Structure formats: structure tokens, C-alpha cells
Amino acid sequence: MRILANVKTRYSPLGDPAILFAHRGARTLERENTIAAFSRAVELGATGLESDAWLSGDGQVVLDHDGHHRRFPRKWIKDTDRADLAEHIPTLVEVYKSVGTGLPVSLDLKDPAAFAPTVATATEFGARRRLWICHSDLELLSQWRRADPDVRLVNSTATKRLPHGPERRAAELSSAGIDAVNLRQGEWTAGLVALFHRFGVLAFAWDAQHERQLASLIDMGIDAVYSDDVERMVAVAATFA
């Protein structure tokens, strides 16, 4: 893997330095969304962990991508008690107990009903301010902000889903108290990062897999990146002063 020489970013992130979120853990080395994957990501130097959150049938917050723990016949997590889920699927409690609470955790809430239990779990472990909850629905995020003034909220969206343009969305997020916006890596430019920063909104980028993508994002002052390849992400970030 070719790594760039040590350089200085052109622009600084609002939350310096950028958070390096391991997308579903170190999924190129371990089974994704498992304790092993999250633990390996921490060992490799990730400064944040990412997953998707669902509620089990008995109300526990569990981390999985698809929301079903058995494919044939399909069995949904929401219809299954924690004790009956596939062994590899962890709860948020188990992740905190096994991996620790020192790193930011970004969770895409697939089930809106998981919001209160997720926040309660993070609060129990003293990790409330290191919890980043992501969702595409701005109105739902606004409701969550009114319900909780402290938890960090992220609007995961795309520029094509912004009918009034990014500046309008930046203003809406700022007014609603939403902390960050998350766009796919290829949609970001230095100018767009600067626009959201002007409104006090953090800029997050997902699907950053290649060196040039990671380097470009960090150089333009991105506040967080999500990557499958933790080793590459950490190595690229380390090249910037």
C-alpha cells in the first residue's frame, strides 16, 4: 500500500482531528458487526466504531446490518428475543462491555423505536456524548433533538435529496440543532465542507475506501470518515500533520 508523504491539510475540520469510523468494525478482517470486528478495529487504530441498530423482540438494542438473523426461512430481529438471536449478533451493552466506551460510536437507527433504549444504554455506560445517531429523516431527527438536548445527531442524506440545495439544508440542520450531515464521499468538495462549517454543522463522509478518497477528504477538512479498510484509513490519516 503506497502512502503519501507527511503533509498538512489545506483546511481544518471543526472537530479536529477527523473521526476515523470503522464501518461495521474491521470487516475486511473479521465478520462484520461482531465483537471480534469491533475489537480488531480498535487494535488497528480506528478512533470510532459504526454499525446499524435494531430492537430485538424483548427490547434490547442489537447491532446488525440487515435486520434479520436468519435468511431461510427469514427471521427478523424485531420478532426475536435476544436469547434466540444468532450468536454472532451483539447487543450494544455487549459491545460497550467488551470493547470499551472510550471511542465515539456511530449508529444508523434502522428502527426509530430504538432511539430511547440506545440513548439510555449509552448513558448507563457514560458514553452519551460519544454516541452519534444517524438517520435520513430530518423531521425525525428534529423530534429526537427536542427529546434529548445532548445526544449527537447526524443527517445521513444525499445531495439529490436536497430539493432546496445544500445551503438550505445546512441552515435547517443548524436551526434544528442537528450536529452533522453525512454524504457519500464522492459528493464532498472543499467548498461544500466549508458551507456546512459556516453554519456550524459537521461534515461526515461515508464509503471512503481508497487512499485518494481518504486523503482528499481529510485534506478538505472533513470531520469524520467511514471506511471498511481500517488499516488503510488509519495509515492515510497518519500522513497528515
How does pLDDT run along the chain (241 residues), one tens digit per residue? 444 456 667 788 997 799 999 999 999 999 999 999 999 999 999 999 999 999 999 999 999 998 766 554 668 899 899 999 989 999 999 999 999 999 999 999 999 999 999 999 999 999 999 999 999 999 999 999 999 998 999 999 999 999 999 999 999 999 999 999 999 999 999 999 999 999 999 999 999 999 999 999 999 999 999 999 999 999 999 998 6
At how many degrees (to 10) do helices 115-124 and 92-99 cross?
A: 20
Please state whether the peptide bond connecting residue 90 to the residue before it is cis, i.e. omega within 30 degrees of 0. no
pTM: 0.94
Q: What phi and psi values does residue 116 have, to the nearest 5 degrees?
A: -60, -45
Residue 5 inside a domain? The answer is: no
Q: Are the beta carbons of 222 and 193 closer than 8 angstroms? A: yes
* pLDDT for residue 184: 98
Closest CA to 229 of 1, 4, 22, 2: 22
Question: Cα 196 to the chain's mean position, in Å?
Answer: 18
Distances (CA, A) of 71 to 77, 86, 125: 11, 11, 33
- Is position 11 within any domain? no
Q: Does residue 87 sit within a domain?
A: yes
In angstroms, the CA 55 to CA 91 distance is: 9
Please check whether residue 211 lies inside any domain of the structure.
yes
- Kindly state whether residue 24 falls inside one of the protein's structural domains: yes
The answer as to whether 89 is a domain residue is yes
**Structural domain harbouring 221:** 19-238
Q: Is residue 140 part of a domain?
A: yes
Q: Which residues contact 69 (CB under 8 A, 6 or more apart)?
A: 75, 76, 77, 80, 85, 86, 89
The three-state secondary structure class of 132 is strand
**Which position has the grid cell 458514553?**
127
CA-nearest of 163, 192, 41 to 102 is 41
CATH number at residue 158: 3.20.20.190
Q: Which residues contact 163 (CB under 8 A, 6 or more apart)?
A: none
Residue 6 is predicted with a pLDDT of 63
Cβ atoms 189, 212 nearer than 8 A: no
Q: Beta-carbon neighbour count of residue 128 at 10 Å?
A: 17
- Cα 161 from Cα 13, distance rounded (Å): 24
Q: Hey, is 70 helix, strand or coil?
A: strand
**Number of independent structural domains in the chain:** 1
Rounded distance between C-alpha atoms, residue 161 and residue 38, angstroms: 31
Report the distance separating Cα 177 and Cα 145, nearest Å.
7
Helix boundaries (H) for 55-137: 92-99, 115-124
